[in-house]
Amino acid sequence: MADVFVSYARGDERVARVVAQRLIEAGYSVWWDSELLPHNRFANVIEEQIGAARAVLVIWSEIAAKSQWVRAEAELGRADDKLVQVAIDQSPVPLPFNQFQTADLRRWRGDPANQQWQKVLASVAHLQASMNSSAVAPPRLPKRFAVGRNGKLALTAAALVAVLGAGAMVLRGFDQPARGARIAIQPFRTIGNAAGLTDFAAELSDSLQNVLTQDQLQTLSPSEADALRGADLAANSKKLGVGLMFSGTVQAKSPNIDVSMRLDDPVQHSTLWTAEISGPAAQPDEVQARVGALTVAVLNCSAQGLAPGVHLMDSALQAFLHACELSQTAFHGLAGGRAAYAMLDAMRQAARIAPDFAAAHSVLAKHLAFVAAEKLVDQTAPLRDEAQREARRALELDPKDPDAFVTFGLLTSPLEYSRREGFYRQALASNPSWSHANGFLGNVMTDTGRLKDAASLYQRAASVNPQSDDWALEAAAGLIRMGDTSEADKELARLSQLWPNSAENLKYQLESMIAQKRWGDALKLVDRTSDFESAFSPSWTAGLREILGALQSGDPAARNSVRADLLASSSTNPEQAIGRLALLGFVDDAFSVAQRDLRVDSSEDDSSEFLFQPETEPLRRDPRFMSLAARFGLVKYWRSSGQWPDFCSNPKLPYDCRQVAAKVVSQPLPH
């Protein structure tokens, strides 16, 4: 099925052909034809194609308005909330379609950089993103051809570029004057008269204003923003230094509240980004948090493109902002499948439109590397190679691009601690507040036992977008690992209010209860894992429930029964068995499993993180821990860097880390 269904009247075939070709050049498959055959069998095909398409683009003209077929196709698109409209002459758009936004293509001659055409592409991209993020389906693989309505083959973007030459199809991306540094937030409008809707809209505007201000973005005061409501929007925006303007609508659709928001360039009169968020009306704080978190995340991701000194044209910014939105809705690729592929494809498109813009390449490189590192797709080698190329290209354009250095860190083996740390510190040297550089450096600190440093870095990463549960959850986890469970619990409770359906939050709540030895409370949380079947396997849950039950009861027989099960199955997941045996107090058994079953291989992306979890704390109190750490290359790192793990400074530790480490390195390591 095609991405876009193009509806038009027979007399407008010439325009329809240009529209279809420009859509194909933008990377979409198109379903269209030069003749509408009015018989029932074909009508069924049309209805099927419209139902499957991501967008229905209607070309309105005087003859189209009189066509029952065009009206019928437009109505199907409107009913499915995927209608995109263009007008190609002076005739009015017929009812009820004149109530919807229509791009003015009356003077358009096929120029792909035309602002009105870019609005069309932005609408299609938004509809495609909405479908990608709301559906779980297999990845949509690239296709060389799409079959049109008349059975002929239509070239897709990949084939068209191959025929015409890539250079001829690429826009350079830099041709507009620099935009102002300030952001204006217009009050959200209400649709309908539902109770409390006006108050919610006002609170949403205030909330967004506060979130952007907290993120240290320059915003207009509400009184200054009022000055932008006049007729001369562009002149007033220039006068106030406004480069971006937020607006939106709020509508009650029981039991939810629907929020539609948009980001405009008020000087160029173009829409850069649109998004829609729906949430339960009974939980308005959650809806406001989601709006704020998505907005700040997209702005932060696009920060280099939105900077006042950058002259990106709006079409390039639209592509970049769209790609950044997909990075959030796809959870940077962790959503997997179709969402991950859509995210990467959108980022590739942004890099094609603005080939001389470093950040377009580095954001793509970073996400390619992350998807590969997390093994979110079957074939990771091609993604790693592509990430290397894109990161190098970014550094050619900007030698200080922070995400390029983040990419190299992600492509480095987890056991190469010094090298990973070096790349992330290079990123921070370029921009000390760069969220992912702080966060991923925090991961290195966690992997090496420097838990206080990790907690501080996670806090810095989370401070960029405190409404999001991205790095904020890692910040809570960092507090747990360094022993500050009280503050961690407060933060997890706050995030739970904003994001009640977060499996990751539940995981860290469990980690905190275990660290505090609150076995009964931990068991209550285990009961909730059934709500997140994809995140917690039944075997994992059953095993943890058995362990917690044995710990709560204090029954030696129950503990020994669990011990026997763990020893019998340790070869399938030795890290888990080691942690759970240590939690039960069977330290000798834990070291025995490590000696017998644990295989450390840097080529397999093995990680040392589990060595510094709360449940393995009994192992760290034992001098044998140094031999185990040496297998992960940690002793070599600690001795060469002089940066020892936090637990080594504990005055109650029954051994001296440096002395034991010196003995370990003089002995051959066990295999």
Q: Is residue 600 part of a domain?
A: no
Q: How confident is the model at residue 602 (pLDDT cuts 50, 70, 90)?
A: low
pLDDT score of 649 more than 50: yes
Instruction: Give the three-state DSSP class for 278.
Output: strand
Q: Based on the domain organization, do 193 and 306 belong to the same domain?
A: yes
Q: Is residue 308 part of a domain?
A: yes
Q: Based on the domain organization, do 163 and 194 belong to the same domain?
A: no
Residue 151 has a pLDDT of 29
Residue 143 has a pLDDT of 26
CA distances from 163 to 31, 159, 169, 401 (A): 21, 6, 11, 34
Q: How confident is the model at residue 473 (pLDDT cuts 50, 70, 90)?
A: very high
Q: Based on the domain organization, do 190 and 256 belong to the same domain?
A: yes
pLDDT score of 137 more than 70: no
Q: What is the mean pLDDT of residues 87-96?
A: 88
Residue 627 has a pLDDT of 96
What is d(CA 83, CA 99) in angstroms, rounded to the nearest whole number?
Answer: 12
Token representation of residue 176: 């507009």
What is d(CA 355, CA 488) in angstroms, rounded to the nearest whole number?
Answer: 43
Q: Is residue 427 part of a domain?
A: no
Q: What are 11-54's pLDDT values in tens digits? A: 888 899 899 888 888 878 888 764 344 433 356 667 778 888 88
Q: Is residue 660 part of a domain?
A: yes
Contact 173, 354 (CB under 8 A): yes
What is d(CA 67, CA 107) in angstroms, rounded to the nearest whole number?
Answer: 23
Q: What is the mean pLDDT of residues 217-227?
A: 78
- Omega cis (within 30) before 618: no
Q: Is residue 29 part of a domain?
A: yes
DSSP 11-76: GGHHHHHHHHHHHHHTT--EE--S----SHHHHHHHHHHHHH-SEEEEEE-HHHHT-HHHHHHHHH
If DSSP states are collapsed to H, E and C, what string results for 574-624?
Answer: HHHHHHHHHHHCCHHHHHHHHHHHCCCCHHHCCCCHHHHCHHHHHHHCCCC
- The winner for highest mean pLDDT among 1-15, 255-269, 439-453 is 439-453
Q: Which of 78, 160, 85 is nearest to 116 (CA)?
A: 85
Q: Based on the domain organization, do 66 and 114 belong to the same domain?
A: yes
141: exposed, middle or buried (Cβ count in 10 Å: 0-12, 13-18, 19+): exposed
Residue 299 has a pLDDT of 78
Q: Based on the domain organization, do 200 and 280 belong to the same domain?
A: yes
DSSP 426-488: HHHHH-TT-HHHHHHHHHHHHHTT-HHHHHHHHHHHHHT-TTSSSHHHHHHHHHHHTT-HHHH
Q: Of 395, 411, 427, which residue is a domain's last?
A: 411
Residue 636 has a pLDDT of 95
| Mean pLDDT over each residue of the chain, to the nearest integer | 83
Q: How confident is the model at residue 487 (pLDDT cuts 50, 70, 90)?
A: very high
Q: Based on the domain organization, do 81 and 207 belong to the same domain?
A: no
Q: Of 329, 347, 371, which residue is a domain's last?
A: 329
Q: Is residue 68 part of a domain?
A: yes
CATH of the domain at 407: 1.25.40
Q: Based on the domain organization, do 116 and 187 belong to the same domain?
A: no
- Which DSSP category does 335 fall into? T
Q: How confident is the model at residue 111 (pLDDT cuts 50, 70, 90)?
A: confident
Q: Based on the domain organization, do 19 and 125 belong to the same domain?
A: yes
pLDDT score of 138 more than 80: no
- Omega cis (within 30) before 255: yes
β-bridge mates for residue 650, sequence order: none
Q: Based on the domain organization, do 125 and 198 belong to the same domain?
A: no
Alpha helix stretches (DSSP H) within 188-302: 197-214, 222-226, 233-240, 284-301
pLDDT score of 650 more than 70: yes
Q: Of 351, 384, 411, which residue is a domain's last?
A: 411
Q: Based on the domain organization, do 15 and 128 belong to the same domain?
A: yes
pLDDT score of 241 more than 90: no
Residue 177 has a pLDDT of 62
CATH of the domain at 157: 3.40.50.10140
Query: Into how many domains does the chain fold?
Result: 4
Q: How confident is the model at residue 565 (pLDDT cuts 50, 70, 90)?
A: very high
Q: Based on the domain organization, do 337 and 322 belong to the same domain?
A: no
Q: Is residue 465 part of a domain?
A: no
Q: Is residue 436 part of a domain?
A: no
Residue 178 has a pLDDT of 63
Q: Based on the domain organization, do 310 and 355 belong to the same domain?
A: no
β-bridge mates for residue 123, sequence order: none
Please report, in angstroms and rounded to a whole number, the separation of the first and last CA atoms in the chain: 54
Q: What percent of the chain has pLDDT over 70?
A: 87
* Residue 457: partners with Cβ closer than 8 Å, 6 or more residues away: 438, 439, 441, 442, 445, 478
pLDDT score of 144 more than 80: no
What is d(CA 57, CA 270) in angstroms, rounded to the nearest whole number?
Answer: 19
Q: Which of 649, 607, 648 is nearest to 444 (CA)?
A: 607
What is d(CA 438, CA 434) in angstroms, rounded to the nearest whole number?
Answer: 6
Angle between the 337-353 and 314-329 helix axes, to the nearest 10 degrees?
Answer: 160
Q: What are 508-563's pLDDT values in tens digits? A: 999 999 999 999 999 999 999 988 877 888 889 999 999 999 999 999 999 999 99
Q: How confident is the model at residue 140 (pLDDT cuts 50, 70, 90)?
A: very low
pLDDT score of 152 more than 80: no
Q: What are phi and psi for residue 90, nearest 5 degrees?
A: -80, -10
More confident residue, 268 or 485: 485
Q: What are 270-295's pLDDT values in tens digits? A: 888 888 888 888 888 888 888 888 88
Instruction: Give the three-state DSSP class for 271.
Output: strand
Q: What percent of the chain has pLDDT over 90?
A: 42
CATH of the domain at 189: 3.40.50.10070
Q: What is the mean pLDDT of residues 194-223?
A: 77
Residue 35 has a pLDDT of 39
Residue 485 has a pLDDT of 95
By residue range, what is the domain housing residue 350? 332-411
pLDDT score of 108 more than 70: yes
Instruction: Give the three-state DSSP class for 80.
Output: coil
Q: Classify the C-alpha dihedral 384-385-388-391 as positive or negative.
A: negative
pLDDT score of 243 more than 70: yes
